[in-house]
Structure 1
C-alpha cells in the first residue's frame, strides 16, 4: 500500500465523484479507477459503491477513511519534520562554555538570540574549564564551545574569533590602589596573586603571566582558583589581587573593586570552536552563522566601565 493510494481514496471520498477527484489530483480518471481497484484488492474489500448515478462509501470505506487521513497527515508531518531538521529549525545542540565566557555578554546574548530564532532546537549547555571543553569537542561530546585556547590547542578545530576583552585588576576594596581610575601593573609587583590554573586554561593563564612579565615582574602566586568567579571571591576574602576579563566586572562581589590597567592593556581572547573533522549539524551551522552575522554588532557591546 502506497501513500498515493491513500491520497486517491481520500479525494474520491471527499468528492464522491471519480472525474472530479481525478481533476483535483491532476491525473486522468481511468488510471485513478485502476489505482483504487488495486487498493481495494490489497484491503480485501470494496471501499466504494459505484453506480451510474453516484459514488458512496461502503461500511469498510467509512472505517478506512479516518485511518487513511491519519496516515497521510502523519506522513506529511514526518516530511515537514525532516525538512525542518535539515534546515536546523529543530534538533539538538550541545554547547559548551568556560566559566569566564558565561559572564561575557556576547555568549548569553548569542544563546538567547539563537533560542528566539530556533525555539524548537533543544540546547544542552555545559560550563567547563577550557581543557575539558577541548576534550569534549574532540570526543564529539559537544557540538560547539566558547573557550579561551592557545593556537596549539586549537589544532584540529575550526574557530570564529570573538572580540578580545581587556583584563582588569580585581582588588580588595580596602586596598590603597582601589581608589585609582587606572593602575600600572608594576604597582602590583609586591602583591600576592590569585590565578586561574594553567591546567584549566593555558591561554588565560599565559596571558596574565606575560602581562606581568612585560611590566617587569613575576607574580607571586598565593592561590589558584578553579573558576573565575571563585577567583573574585578569594580577592574579596583578602587572599590577593587578580587579573580578570572585563566581563567579570559584572560580578559585584562585596569587598572587591575593579580597576583598569594603564598603558599596554593585556587582552583575553575568546573563540567559538568546533571539531574540524566533523560535519556540523544544521543546528550547529545556524549557530555559527548567527555568530558570524552578528560579529560586528557584538564587538560594540563590550562593557566600558568608566565611559572611555
Structure 2
C-alpha cells in the first residue's frame, strides 16, 4: 500500500464518484477504478458500495477513511518539518561566546534579530575564552562562536568581523590619571598592568603590549587575569590598571573608571566564527544576518 492509494481513496470518498474523482486527480477514470480495486483487495474487504449514480462508503470504508486522512496529514506534516529543518527554521543552535562579547551591542543585536526571525530554533549558549571556543568549534561541540582573533582559519573555519572597538584604560576610582580625559602610553609609565593573556601568548593583550613598546613604554606586569571581566574586577581592587575593549565600559563595578586610550592600533576585533563547509541551515541563517 502506497500513499498514492490513500490519496486516490480519499478523493473518491469525497467526490462519491469515480469520474469526478479522476478529474480532480488529473487522471483517467479506468486507472482510478483499478487502483481502488487493488486497494480493496489489499485491505481484504470492499470499501465502497457501488451504485448506478456513483459510489458510497460502507462501514469499512468510513473506518478506513479516518485513518487514511490521518496518515496523509501526518505525511504532509513530515514533509513540512523536513523542509523547515532544511531551511534552518527549527532545531537547536549551540552558540559559543567570549564573556566580553556579551557587552558588545552588535553581538546582542545579532542574537536578538536571529531569535525574532527564527523563534522555533532553540539557542544554547556556551561561554569560554576564544582559544577554547575555537577548539570546540573545530571538534563540532558548538555550531558557531563570537570570538576575538587571532586564530588559524584552517580546517574549514570562516570568520566574519562584526566590530572593531577602540581601547580604554580601566583605572581604580580616585586614581590621579582619572582626572584626565584621554590617556597616552607615556601616561602609564609607572603603572602596574593587569593582563588577560592567552595560553598561546597571542591575542589582544600581546598586541597592546607590543604597541606600548613601540611608543616607548615598557609595561610593568602586576597581575594576570583569566578573562577581561576579571581584569576589571582586579582594577577595582586597586591591583593595577587594564587596557580593555571600549564595550566593557558597560561593566561598571564599584571603584572603576574608564578613559579613552590614545592608540589607533590595535583595535579590539570581535566576530563570528563558523565551520562553513557543510554548515546546516541554522548556521547559514546566522551567517546571513551577520553579513547583513
Task: Give the SS at the match of 1:68.
Answer: helix
Aligned 8 A contact 2:48 2:57 in 1:
yes
Tell me if the contact between 1:169 and 1:243 (Cα under 8 Å) persists in the aligned partners. Answer: yes
> Residues 53-106 of structure 1, C-alpha deviation per residue, up to 9 Å, x if partnerless?
342111111111111111101111111111111122223222111111121111
What does residue 280 of structure 1 align with?
Answer: 279
Q: What's 1:301 paired with? A: none
Name the stretch that deviates more: 214-223 or 233-242: 214-223
Does 1:262 find its partner at 2:262?
A: yes
Q: How does 1:151-166 map to 2 (within 5 A)?
A: 152-156=151-155, 157-166=157-166
**Cα gap change, 1:174 to 1:265, in 2 (>3 Å):** farther
TM-score (normalizing by structure 2) = 0.94
Cα drift, residue 263 of structure 1 = 4.8
- Whether the 8 Å contact between 2:197 and 2:206 is mirrored in structure 1 is no
Q: 1:188 aligns to what? A: 188
User: Which residues in structure 2 correspond to 1:224-243 (within 5 Å)?
Assistant: 224-243=224-243
Residues 16 and 56, structure 1, Cα contact 8 Å, conserved in 2: yes
**Deviations for 1:201-225, whole angstroms, at most 9, x for unmatched residues?**
8322222212321231222222222
Q: Which runs of 5+ in 2 are unaligned?
A: none
On the 8 A contact 2:18/2:54 being kept in 1, the answer is no
C-alpha separation in 2, matches of 1:216 and 1:85: 56
- How many matched pairs? 291
8 Å CA contact 2:131, 2:198 repeated in 1: no
Q: CA RMSD in A?
A: 1.6
Match of 1:182, SS state, is coil
> 1:214-229 residue pairs with structure 2 within 5 A?
214-229=214-229
CA contact (8 A) 1:207 1:268 kept: no
CA 1:216/1:287 → structure 2, altered by over 3 Å: closer, same or farther?
same
Q: Which residue of 2 aligns with 1:94?
A: 94
CA contact (8 A) 1:130 1:201 kept: no
Residues 200 and 226, structure 1, Cα contact 8 Å, conserved in 2: no
Unaligned segments of structure 1, at least 5 residues = 294-308
The 2-side partners of 1:161 and 1:78 are apart by 38
* TM-score, with length taken from structure 1: 0.90
Contact 2:7 2:72 in 1 (8 A): yes
Distance 2:178 2:124 in 1: 39
CA distance, structure 2, for counterparts of residue 238 and residue 250 of structure 1? 19
1:200 Cα shift?
7.6
Structure 1 residue 257: Cα displacement: 0.5
Given that residues 183 and 260 in structure 1 are in contact (C-alpha distance below 8 angstroms), is that contact kept between their aligned partners in structure 2?
yes
How far did residue 271 of structure 1 move? 2.5
Write out aligned runs for 1:79-158 (5 A): 79-150=79-150, 152-156=151-155, 157-158=157-158
Q: Deviations over 1:10-68 (max 9, x none)?
A: 11111211111111111111111111111111111111111113421111111111111
For residues 144 and 202 of structure 1, what CA distance do their matches in structure 2 show? 21
Equivalent residues of 1:160, 1:273 under 8 A apart: yes
* Alignment partners' CA distance in 1, 2:208 and 2:161: 19
TM-superposed deviation, 1:110 = 0.7
Q: What is the alpha-carbon distance in structure 1 between the residues aligned to residue 16 and residue 200 of structure 2?
A: 72
Instruction: Name the CA distance, whole Å, in 1 between partners of 2:207 and 2:263.
Output: 16
